[in-house]
Amino acid sequence: MADTLRNDAFVAFERVQKSYDGETLVVKDLNLDMPKGEFLTMLGPSGSGKTTCLMMLAGFETATHGEIKLDGVSINNIPPHKRGIGMVFQNYALFPHMTVAENLSFPLEVRGLGKSEREGKIKRALDMVQMGEFGGRRPAQLSGGQQQRIALARALVFEPELVLMDEPLGALDKQLREHMQFEITRLAHELGITTVYVTHDQTEALTMSDRVAVFNDGRIQQLAPPDQLYESPDNSFVAQFIGENNTLLGTVKEVKGGYALVELDDGEVIDCKPVNVSKPGERTLVSIRPERVEIDKSRLHPDAHLLKAEVLEFIYMGDIFRTRLRVAGNEDFVIKTRNAPDQKRLRPGETIEIGWLPDDCRALDAP
Amino acid sequence: MSDTTDTGPVLAADGTPLKKSLSRALRMQKVRALMLIAPLLIFVLVTFIAPIVDMLFRSVENQIVSETLPRTTAALEEWDPDTGELPSDEVFEAAYYDIFIAAERKLHTRLGTRLNYEQTGVSSLFRKSGRGLDDIGEVYQDQFEDLNENWDEARPWAELMSDPDWIAAREAWDEDGAAPMPTYRLQSGISDVLPRTAEAYRIFAEFTQREDEDSPLEEEPWSMVHTALFQDLTEQDVSGYTGPQAAMLQGAAGAVGEFETISFRDGFVEIDEDWLDPEVWQTIQTYSPNYTTGYFLNAVDMQKTPDGPALRDEDERIYGLLFQRTMFMSLVITFSCILLAYPVAYLLSTLPMRKANLLMILVLLPFWTSLLVRTSAWKVMLQQQGVINDVLVWLGLVADESRLVMINNQFGTIVAMTHILLPFMILPMYSVMSTIPPSYVRAAKSLGASNWTAFWRVYFPQSVPGIGAGSILVFILAIGYYITPEIVGGTTGTFISNRIAYHISSSLNWGLAAALGTLLLVVVLGLYWAYDRIVGIDNVKLGG
Ligand SMILES: Nc1ncnc2c1ncn2[C@@H]1O[C@H](COP(=O)(O)OP(=O)(O)O)[C@@H](O)[C@H]1O
Ligand SMILES: [Mg+2]
């Protein structure tokens, strides 16, 4: 988990711990390196310590232990206003008593920029988020999406190299959110800024990020690019947290040739890829994605282990079919099949046989 | 809907126009809502609005002069004070009757007190005259008596003046019975024969019946009646009179030619030389209308003069100074409160809930102590032999013989009132500050603002509504404060309200007190209006 520390890391957390009350650690042993220009997302359930990490980076909370480095320099003792980090807050925190232009002018004024220079930068920043017309308005006169853009422009107007965003799209409706996701990634890449983005929405994390750090219980559970995170989760938490996932509990019977034989609790045996199991007798949680389950035997290896399944429910969803099965006692086993002309439509009550490639079936730690 | 057309009114299900049935439905709601607030509304009307209206009315009301001296004020209308001459004899005559009657009704001292507000000395003049005017009438009364003993008797007088039916009714009336006392009636025609006497006797008889609860049949009339009779007999021919006691009357008519006389003016002068001062008459004339601006002029250190309102002499001006002082001290108190309350409110709003509640109790603690106790405590602290002076002397910062004077002056009032009004500043500030999310200041800092800049440019502007609400509250409370300045203010630290209280409870000049109170109200409303124009009352938040 802990990445090997690289010297060229732009942002680095080194063995960082944080406790608010002196009794429990909200952040436990955080190690993280970010190269310049990366878009990194901290993803995790509410209360997992994401905001705390961001606040430590911004300087509003002090790390109880460990070091945070920016561009190779420890910033533990630098006050927030000298860190030069742009920040977008969850409720935007636009100053209500200032107009949009004044809001944007604020960081430039405190940096002592001249009037004409300020105006140029404000105009560019507003144009960048397509809000050029709105300089004279007050934040209260803007819609949520517009406020979001202004908050973004304000965080970028003084050209910081690092920008932090704490659930910036949480208050927007779905359509606007998707649009803004695209806008933010576009801007981040165009301007080449390093971004730390916090969200509890996995779709957002997967679509926007170069890498995603999955947080739980004050630790990074996995730090990986989105595809790797989805396809090769390191542990059962990540597997269950990211995307839809079928789980079966069992015991490892044998590990051999890069594959593991797992005996499920009802006695059936399946082939898996061992991820964090190593020896027979260990309890394991087997994870398989719904779209990787095969119902067409002809597409599987002839020796592959097959499981009996009873169809409980068939849901037509347009592009895909979603079928709920009872498999090895689990009634929430879901498979997704593509709506192709030759695709079989299963009927409730029917009994079928299912299987999968051993590589798609990961034997993880049992919770 | 098939029964609605584009042109006709929309109808409800029962056929009445929708508008009408809607307003009927709403009216029921309104009536019910009104009934809910009715007790409070009535309470406010009775205990708040009504006293204020009464105060406004009292500040201009002046009926006492024209009610007590109706004849005099009427006669004075002709008189032009600019000539520098005394009013005519008719005025003195009218004043004789007015003051005589007022003295019988014991109203002359009240009028004297009222006019004394405008001109000092009038009070004692009226008091003296009330006693002395009898002397004029007694001159005639004695001569009538010498002529005929009956002029000193109640019964013959009553028979001469009164309706015989009334006399019979009065004699038959049982004082302890259920029947009402018969109202007094003059003999028909007597008013034509003896107009002045009839009027004077009627007033006497009615007063005797009503106020003294005696019978005019048994009471010898006032000397004023004799004066009136003398006047009538010198002017009227009574030979045609044939009613009761005609002989007595005609006997007197023949003799009045020889009577020793005294003019009303001389009678007045004998009582007090001041009646020769035209200013006294001028005061009566100036204040004879039913409504007057006099109290208000007084309240702004002005007075009425023949040339219209003018400022009083320098050494008589006190209210302007008091208003200024009240405003100035209230402002100082408000600012001290802002300075002291802001950090406390800020701390309260940033502390975690439990600690904030504890601190809040400390803030509210003064509310649970009697105002009098708190003020007196300041007396103990601040007096020359008090705690603070003792400590300063002990520390050697102040010499024992030059102990600081910190009480019974402005300083004492400001300190004590700042302390007492502080919670009224802290509470609105706190409620506004606790709604300012910490993310604003964080955002400012993340944008590069130092702690001070973040506070001054981002936090402070958002806390201004709290300051505004607190300031209005404290200022308005301060400007009308009474108890604390009364106790610790001495002479230099008292407020206009102390003066108002003085006029209400000591000098009994309620009109002036009402005028001062009205001015205070207007000043407060004016400030409120100005505040609304400058800051905007929407910007005042007491909470949320
Ligand atoms: N200022 C604070 N004081 C005490 N505890 C806090 C504070 N801020 C956050 N916490 C606690 O720290 C934990 C992590 O919070 P946070 O970092 O906000 O999580 P996330 O942003 O992932 O939802 C939570 O259990 C929260 O209750
Ligand atoms: Mg959070």
Angle CA(A81)–CA(A83)–CA(A84) in degrees, nearest 5?
Answer: 85
Whether B9 is in a domain gets the answer: no
* Per-residue pLDDT band at B1 (split at 50, 70, 90): very low
Whether B443 is in a domain gets the answer: yes
Q: What does the alpha-carbon distance between residue B382 and residue B392 come to, in Å, rounded to a whole number? A: 11
Whether B167 is in a domain gets the answer: yes
Query: What pLDDT, on a 0 to 100 scale, did the predictor assign at position A163?
Result: 95
DSSP state, residue B29:
H
Residues B27 and B73 in one domain: no
Query: What pLDDT, on a 0 to 100 scale, did the predictor assign at position B541?
Result: 63
Residues B23 and B69 in one domain: no
Looking at every residue in chain B, the average pLDDT score rounds to 88
A49 C-alpha to ligand 1 centroid (Å): 6
Considering only CA atoms, give the Rg of chain A. Answer: 25
How far is residue B64 from each of residues A168, B36, B67, B93, B295, measured CA to CA in Å?
A: 76, 42, 5, 20, 14
Q: What does the alpha-carbon distance between residue A2 and residue A6 come to, in Å, rounded to a whole number? A: 11
CA distance from start to end of chain B:
46
What are the phi and psi torsion angles at A7 (to 5°)? -80, -25
How many domains does chain B divide into?
3
* Per-residue pLDDT band at B132 (split at 50, 70, 90): confident
Q: What residues of chain A lie within 8 A of the CB of B440, using their CB?
A: 93, 95
Neighbours of B224 (CB within 10 A): 27
- Which pair of tokens denotes residue B227? 């004066």
Rounded average pLDDT over B7-36: 83
Residues B339 and B280 in one domain: no
Residues B224 and B181 in one domain: yes
Q: Is A96 on the interface with B (CB under 8 A)?
A: yes
- Which pair of tokens denotes residue B239? 């030979």
Q: What does the alpha-carbon distance between residue B156 and residue B167 come to, in Å, rounded to a whole number? A: 12
Residues B349 and B411 in one domain: yes
* Per-residue pLDDT band at B7 (split at 50, 70, 90): low
Residues B77 and B102 in one domain: yes
What is the β-pairing status of strands A162-166 and A194-199? parallel
DSSP state, residue B400:
G
Query: What pLDDT, on a 0 to 100 scale, did the predictor assign at position B287?
Result: 87
CATH number for the domain formed by residue range(s) A11-236 = 3.40.50.300
Tracing tokens 């938040």 back to the chain, one arrives at B541
Query: Which atom, in ligand 1's list, is nearest to the CA of A44?
Result: 22
Tens of pLDDT, residue by residue over B264-280, are: 998 898 888 889 888 88
User: What residues contact residue B509 under an 8 Å CB cut-off, 6+ apart?
Assistant: B117, B503
Q: Quick check: B448 and A158 CB within 8 A? A: yes
Q: What does the alpha-carbon distance between residue B38 and residue B44 come to, in Å, rounded to a whole number? A: 10
Query: What pLDDT, on a 0 to 100 scale, did the predictor assign at position A7?
Result: 58
Query: What pLDDT, on a 0 to 100 scale, did the predictor assign at position B325?
Result: 92
B518 φ/ψ sector (left φ>0, alpha ψ -120 to 50, else beta): alpha
Whether B10 is in a domain gets the answer: no
Residues B259 and B126 in one domain: yes
pLDDT at residue B417 tops 70: yes
Q: What does the alpha-carbon distance between residue A259 and residue B147 come to, in Å, rounded to a whole number? A: 154
* Per-residue pLDDT band at B498 (split at 50, 70, 90): very high
Q: Quick check: A111 and B448 CB within 8 A? A: yes
Whether B8 is in a domain gets the answer: no
| A255 contacts A274 by C-beta, under 8 angstroms | yes
Give start-end residues of each CATH 3.40.50.300 domain in chain A.
Answer: 11-236
- Ligand 1 neighbour A218 (Cβ under 6 A): no
Considering only CA atoms, give the Rg of chain B. Answer: 36
Nearest-neighbour CA in chain A from B343: distance (Å)? 21
Whether B302 is in a domain gets the answer: no
The closest alpha carbon to B255, from B374, B151, B112, belongs to B151
Query: What pLDDT, on a 0 to 100 scale, did the predictor assign at position B247?
Result: 86
| A198 contacts A41 by C-beta, under 8 angstroms | yes
Residues B87 and B44 in one domain: no
Whether B520 is in a domain gets the answer: yes
Q: Quick check: A84 and B450 CB within 8 A? A: no
Q: Where are the beta strands (DSSP E) in A192-316?
A: 194-199, 211-216, 219-224, 246-256, 259-264, 269-274, 283-288, 307-316
Q: Whose CA is nearest to atom 18 of ligand 1?
A: A51
Across the interface, of A58, A81, A93, the residue whose CB is closest to B448 is A81
Query: What pLDDT, on a 0 to 100 scale, did the predictor assign at position B25?
Result: 85
In three-state secondary structure terms, B361 is: helix
Query: What pLDDT, on a 0 to 100 scale, did the predictor assign at position B12?
Result: 73
A55 C-alpha to ligand 2 centroid (Å): 10
- Ligand 1 neighbour A47 (Cβ under 6 A): yes
Residues B323 and B385 in one domain: yes
Structural domain of residue B209, as residue ranges?
Answer: 65-288
DSSP state, residue A141:
G
Residues B253 and B385 in one domain: no
- Ligand 1 neighbour A49 (Cβ under 6 A): yes
Rounded average pLDDT over B19-23: 85
Residues B129 and B182 in one domain: yes
Give start-end residues of each CATH 2.40.50.140 domain in chain A.
Answer: 244-365
Rounded average pLDDT over B106-113: 89
What is the Cα A45 distance to its own chain's centre? 10
Query: What pLDDT, on a 0 to 100 scale, did the predictor assign at position B178?
Result: 80
Residues B99 and B239 in one domain: yes
The closest alpha carbon to A138, from A95, A93, A89, belongs to A95
Question: Spelled out in words, what is the top-level CATH class assigned to the domain A244-365?
Answer: mainly beta
Report the complex ipTM: 0.84
Q: Which amino acid is present at A284?
A: T
How far is residue B236 from each of residues A190, B69, B139, B240, B449, measured CA to CA in Å?
A: 120, 26, 20, 11, 103
Q: What does the alpha-carbon distance between residue B279 and residue B305 come to, in Å, rounded to a whole number? A: 10
Q: What residues of chain A lie within 8 A of the CB of B444, using their CB?
A: 95, 106
Query: What pLDDT, on a 0 to 100 scale, did the predictor assign at position B544?
Result: 47
Query: What pLDDT, on a 0 to 100 scale, did the predictor assign at position B211?
Result: 86
Which residue out of A13, A24, A25, A26 has the highest number of ligand 1 atoms within 8 Å of its CB and is therefore the one to mutate?
Answer: A26
> Which residues of chain A, if any, have pLDDT below 50?
1-6
CATH number at residue B377: 1.10.3720.10
DSSP state, residue B3:
T
Question: Which of residues A107 and B235 earns the better pLDDT score?
Answer: A107
User: What is the number of H-type helices and E-type strands within chain A?
Assistant: 8, 19
Q: Quick check: B446 and A91 CB within 8 A? A: no
Q: What residues of chain A lie within 8 A of the CB of B457, using their CB?
A: 106
- Ligand 1 neighbour A18 (Cβ under 6 A): no
Whether B211 is in a domain gets the answer: yes
Tens of pLDDT, residue by residue over B55-96, are: 889 899 888 899 999 999 999 888 888 887 888 888 999 999
